[in-house]
Amino acid sequence: MFFRSADRSWLQLTIQAIARLVDSDLFYELRSFKDYPRYSMTQPVSITVSSTTDSPTILQKAASLSARLNLPLSPSIEEAPSGYILCYNDRGLQLLYSCASLPRVNCLLYVDFIGGKNGYRLAKNCTIKQPLSRAVGVKSGFRPTVFDATAGLGTDSFVMASLGCQVTMCERSPFLGVLLEDGLQRAWENRKTTKIVSEHLRLIIQDSRDFLLADHTVFHTIYLDPMFPHRKQSALNKQTLRSIRLLVGDDLDGDSLLEVALKRAANRVVVKRPAAAPYLGALPPNHSVTMKNSRFDVYLTNV
Ligand SMILES: C[S@@+](CC[C@H](N)C(=O)[O-])C[C@H]1O[C@@H](n2cnc3c(N)ncnc32)[C@H](O)[C@@H]1O
């Protein structure tokens, strides 16, 4: 397992982002993204780093995270301003939401590969006959290497890794990236999941297009699951998807990701879409694996 961060340069900030700096409310947004120039959020939010325990190790982790993401550090969640809080507690790192009009602080996002309904138990019960396995090209005696270009909370990656695929997961949101890192670390420390994490998963925090254009590793399959506006079903529940969408927007640049993926996948590109959604980039696939609420569009690249 290794972590790699994005290319760093203020110069690469988009003209649009620079124009938005004129509005000083967005200052933290841009400051926190200065290391992630190709990443942009759809709306301004305040994000603070904090912790709920006074263990010196945890306090040190919170301080390092605040410095790494260039976000303000709050000594406690009670003292943090309204908005998002990346918070270390005894379960690990969580994204919380706190607002004066809400009775309590809500946990929006938490990566849990061990328990939870998307964790180890679900992954353990996956078989090679399931739609995701068939779509990515898992066969008896063959496990493709997979580049998951839209890692999100890593649910699909973890299932593919549990099936025995070598999975490189790539996520461009630095916030989801650090939540994924934390989830992977806890899974690596757990007896049930350590083998899957150490032998089958690696994480890259970068825009997948940049990675695929610069790196020459050969992947059999490139897997895409970009956010889809008003999407009803996915591996993630509605509250989780809503929280991710607030942070990352609607991935309206999915077409260009597909274009790069088609040039780089050795065998196939798989795109997950809601059942009734148009094809990504209006490009018809070679075939689709359909389910009740969604489908996998499969583009063969070795024909
Ligand atoms: C619907 S979520 C994916 C959910 C994921 N399949 C799971 O199982 O958790 C889409 C994610 O893709 C990420 N994403 C979209 N385009 C990307 C790109 N070009 N590079 C890296 N990540 C990208 C978004 O930031 C978002 O977190």
Q: What are the distances in angstroms from CA 69 to CA 6, 141, 149, 234?
A: 12, 42, 22, 29
Ligand 1 within 6 A of 6 CB? no
260 lines ligand 1 (CB under 6 A): no
- Dist. CA 161 → ligand 1 center (Å): 17
Ligand 1 atom at minimum distance from 235 CA:
8
Answer yes or no: are the C-beta atoms of 114 and 190 closer than 8 Å: yes
Name the residue with the closest Cα to ligand 1, atom 23: 150
Residue among 29, 269, 62 at smallest CA distance from 173:
29
Report strand pairing: 47-51 vs 83-89.
parallel
Ligand 1 atom with the shortest distance to the CA of 156: 8
Beta pairing class for 92-98 and 83-89:
antiparallel
In order, the DSSP letters of 103-118 are: SSPEEEE---SSSSTT
**What is the pLDDT tens value at each position of the chain, 303 positions in all?**
444 444 333 323 322 332 232 222 222 332 333 333 344 444 456 899 999 988 899 999 999 999 999 999 999 988 888 788 999 998 999 999 887 777 678 888 999 999 877 677 667 778 889 999 999 999 999 999 999 999 999 999 999 999 999 999 999 999 999 999 999 999 999 999 999 999 999 999 999 999 999 999 999 999 999 988 655 555 555 667 777 777 777 788 999 999 999 999 999 999 999 999 999 999 999 999 999 999 999 999 998
Query: Mutate which of 110, 113, 118, 150 to test ligand 1's pocket (most atoms within 8 Å of Cβ)?
Result: 150
Please list, residue by residue across 36-50, b when 16 or more beta carbons sit within 10 angstroms of its beta carbon and e when fewer do: bbbbbbeeebbbbbb
Q: Where are the domains of the chain?
A: 3-109, 120-300
Q: Which residues contact residue 119 at a Cβ distance below 8 angstroms, ignoring those fewer than 6 apart?
A: 112, 113, 158
Q: What is the pTM of this model?
A: 0.84
Does the domain spanning 120-300 belong to CATH 3.40.50.150? yes
